Amino acid sequence: MDRPGRRSSTGPRSFRLVCRDGEIPLVEDLLAVQGFRFAPEPFSPHCRRLAAEPFPLGASLAATFGLIYIQDRSSMLPPVCLDPPPAASVLDMCASPGGKTGFLAQLVGSAGFVLGNEPTPDRLSTLRRNLSRLNLVNVATCGEADLTPFLPRGGFRHILLDPPCSGWGTAAKNPKVLTLWREDKVAPLLSLQRTLLATAASLLAPGGRLLYSTCTTNPAENEDQVRRALDTHPLELVPLIPPPGTAAEPTSLPGVIRVDPALHGGQGFFLACLTKPGAPSQDEAMPDAASAEPPGGGEAKRRTGREKGRGHGRGKGREQGGATVLRDFEDIRPGEFPGTEGLHFDALGPGRACRFGDRVYFIARGVGPFTGSGLRYKGFFLGLVKGGAFRPNARARLLLGAAGADGAAGLTLENPADLGDLLAGRSLSVGSLPKRCGLYYKELPLGFVTCKGGRALWSERA
């Protein structure tokens, strides 16, 4: 057995750009004017590696506005190796804190869909906060310990399983893992990993891909688990080729990847790709997200507050597992309420903007196949309806077009110091602007500010 933390590295930090392709130059400019220098990662056009960090990257304007996500470069590899095509539906079984979930959402695009599951309540809250900040609206989140009662067997063509593990590959940053998860203490983890692999095998469609990954160097959690899965379930190994720029070390199981942390410049990581023999069945596998029926099934129906229907899940008027479960809802149509004029609901992709009480969520079309299963899920919070008017979530930048487009009034800033003042709680003199208007860095949408008395203020409150 490998010794825990045998080799490790704390190389330059990596991050992922989380924006439209056309916005990349502006996001990179926002980083550069604050002194950050970076270079492309060779395995994905979304990823960058820092060359200069004048202050913590997490305190940068780009990070604060959710335009980048800081992520270990090894942790970026599972979505790259799973490689879901545009418009695919993907299941991420152990999703928090959301780095891999978010990357998958970018890979499948606005027409695709990701279901991110995280059974631990605190970690589920973290997942939802991160996805909200990043404006990844094509994700729904849930918190089930066992997904099998809610999802169709053989229903997903793409599954990512990154289960709880001993984390020995992170020892350079988290040395406590070496005492917390000694070799004689990992039995509960091994049992959980086997259970999750069995669930993943049952949910995987024939011909689909299951990517199993861990951030440990422990063969018992890596190669041994894969061998057992191959012996126990109708699965076959799909040989992986290390992505460009990946330093892999020898392994006892050909076709899997063990990331060498000392040479790779990231955490120790393990990746294996499995498939279920056969061709996908049209009767079993979920359709691609873009062709799925809308939430609720069938044609979109006009609903009022008096009509009953399935929304975020079961129950009525209370929170369960962190998810809003009101059953009375209305579809919100652009222009229906004051405050929706000029907002780009069409930029959200396939799905519905649905009202649950006074809260409005975007529910991606990809949830359609399991809305009647009782699964409690949550979409993306768009804003509130108050006093008959829509008030957008301050972070819902996808609702904004480019600065000055469509004649919409907005606050455009070119000095990063002004943005810093807003984030610090200081108001800016702006003259006459609508009460709720778009905030931009040059032409880059950042979110919404509140204007009153000729001054603008940034507030996270919708």
Q: Is 118 annotated as a binding residue?
A: yes
With helix as H, strand as E and coil as C, how does 89-112 read? EEEECCCCCCHHHHHHHHHHCCCC
Q: Is 146 annotated as a binding residue?
A: yes
Q: How many whole angstroms separate alpha carbon 213 and alpha carbon 243?
A: 15
**Cα 227 vs. chain centroid, distance in angstroms?**
30
**Residue 417 token pair:** 């110091």
Q: How many whole angstroms separate alpha carbon 416 and alpha carbon 156?
A: 44
166 touches 134 (CB < 8 A): no
- Bridge partners (DSSP) listed for residue 214: 270
DSSP state of 240: P
Residue 362 to residues 38, 283, 325: CA-CA distances in angstroms?
A: 34, 28, 14
- The active-site residue out of 81, 94, 215, 451 is 215
The alpha helices in 34-145, defined as continuous H runs, are: 61-64, 77-82, 99-108, 121-134
DSSP state of 168: G
Q: How many whole angstroms separate alpha carbon 163 and alpha carbon 221?
A: 10
142 touches 165 (CB < 8 A): no
The alpha helices in 136-222, defined as continuous H runs, are: 177-180, 187-203
Closest CA to 101 of 60, 132, 67: 132
113 touches 138 (CB < 8 A): yes
253 touches 226 (CB < 8 A): yes
Closest CA to 65 of 433, 394, 418: 394
75 touches 99 (CB < 8 A): yes
Residue 116: left (phi > 0), alpha (psi -120 to 50), or beta? beta
**Residue 297 token pair:** 């099934």
Q: How many whole angstroms separate alpha carbon 425 and alpha carbon 428?
A: 10
- Give the Cβ contact number of residue 177 at 10 Å: 20
Active site residue 47: no
Closest CA to 324 of 368, 369, 372, 357: 357
Q: Is 460 annotated as a binding residue?
A: no
Q: Which residues are annotated as a binding site for S-adenosyl-L-methionine?
A: 118, 146, 162
Residues designated catalytic: 215
Q: Which residues are annotated as a binding site?
A: 118, 146, 162
